Amino acid sequence: MHFKNFDIAAFLGNSWQKKPLLIKNPWAAWANPLEPDELAGLACEEGVESRLITQPDAVWKLEHGPLAEDRFDSLGNKNWTLLVQAVDQHVPTVAALIEPFRFIPNWRIDDVMVSFAADGGGVGPHFDQYDVFLIQGSGRRRWKVGGRCDVQSALLPHDDLRLLANFEAAETFICEPGDIVYIPPGYSHEGVALGDNCMTYSIGFRAPSRSELIGDWCDDLLADMQGDDRYGDPDLAIQNNPGEISTSAVDRLHAMITDKMGNREAFSRWFGEYSSTPKYPEMDWQPDEKIEMEDLREQLQQGAQLARNPASRFSFIRRESSKFFLFVDGRSIECGGDTIPFAETLCAKALLTIDEQQTNSNSVMALILDMYNRGSLAFEPQD
Ligand code: SIN
Ligand code: CO
């Protein structure tokens, strides 16, 4: 699946994080990647996050999955929607929908949520914290998009749903299969299915809040700190007033914090590990039996391709000192020589063919072996 008519540079310059946009079917050939029955099946599975939103008697109701299979029998053909989170982790054709959006860095990408709605179904007027591309898979949906909201925006009283009390649309888009609506963080929106078979794919992004970032970075720092690393003042001088916390004491106390928290090298390595930690670690691709180097090399020499586990996140940081860290599944791996171009390709491509120079390189092969045996990579099934 790829774009035929989509100007990425213009999108980034004019719309990304700035304003909503309707992108009329930009695909070379749009094909809906998932059947409604398969989505319903996922919503019945343990370990898959799903929600069912209904509006009986105009009252919004939320149920969490896993749903009983016969739950769908009594829903009727109006005013309900089923939403399943992270479908990309379960269905490769849905994971492939992320690929055209790789102009946004890997670490910003979250997952693909898929919704199915009966005529009139939707989740109500709301706003999200993150950017989202809403791809119309099948059927039609009317999107109404309003202005920017924030934590002060009034919500309807509801225990489970965060619906806006006052929603005014500034724009209305009618989406047909293949059309995409982009919504920046905070913009109010409401999508309502027009007719049957309305499926929408939400490519969601993530961005850490300052409080998450500070809290999680501090937790990591604290884990390595010793209780005896304490304030000291062997140069204590006589003060005029014992009540004063002196400038030199404040400087020294403040430095105790900034020395640790201001360490950019340590921060960047921690952030790479942190942001590559899988959200759904249960997507375990670890082989039952570890593969041996000889077997791995032979299969790759015969042209076997490697696929990235959709739950694994791959990224890297290049340091000025020519240091290069690859981050996979919450781990950092320092690369050098041949492993640098290999790691660059690994981060850029979902499917890898390993060339002769790489199968002959012990360091590249050791890296592949390690990732294969940990379940970050697996052979792509040949058909
Ligand atoms: C939907 O697919 O119905 C909801 C997506 C959204 O508004 O975030
Ligand atoms: Co939304």
Whether 139 contacts 198, CB under 8 Å: yes
Does the beta carbon of 202 lie inside 6 Å of ligand 1? yes
Whether residue 269 has its Cβ less than 6 Å from ligand 1: no
Query: Would you give per-residue pLDDT tens digits along the chain (383 residues)?
Result: 899 999 999 999 999 999 999 999 999 999 999 999 999 999 999 999 999 999 877 789 999 999 999 999 999 999 999 999 999 999 999 999 999 999 999 999 999 999 999 999 999 999 999 999 999 999 999 999 999 999 899 998 887 889 899 999 999 999 999 999 999 999 999 999 999 999 999 999 999 999 999 999 999 999 999 888 999 999 999 999 999 999 999 999 999 999 999 999 999 999 999 999 988 877 678 899 999 999 999 999 999 999 999 889 999 999 877 789 999 999 999 999 999 999 999 999 989 999 999 999 999 999 999 999 999 999 987 54
Closest to 191 measured CA to CA, from 379, 200, 158, 62: 200
345 Cα to the center of ligand 2, angstroms: 33
Pocket test for ligand 1, best of 202, 203, 205, 206 (most atoms within 8 A of CB): 202
Report residue 320 as tokens: 């000025």
Q: What is the pLDDT of residue 1?
A: 82
Residue 54 near ligand 1, beta carbon < 6 Å: no
Output the CA torsion 157→158→159→160 (10° steps). Answer: -140
- Alpha-carbon dihedral 251, 253, 255, 259, rounded to 10 degrees: 180
| Residues ≥6 apart with Cβ < 8 Å to 3 | 26, 27, 28, 100
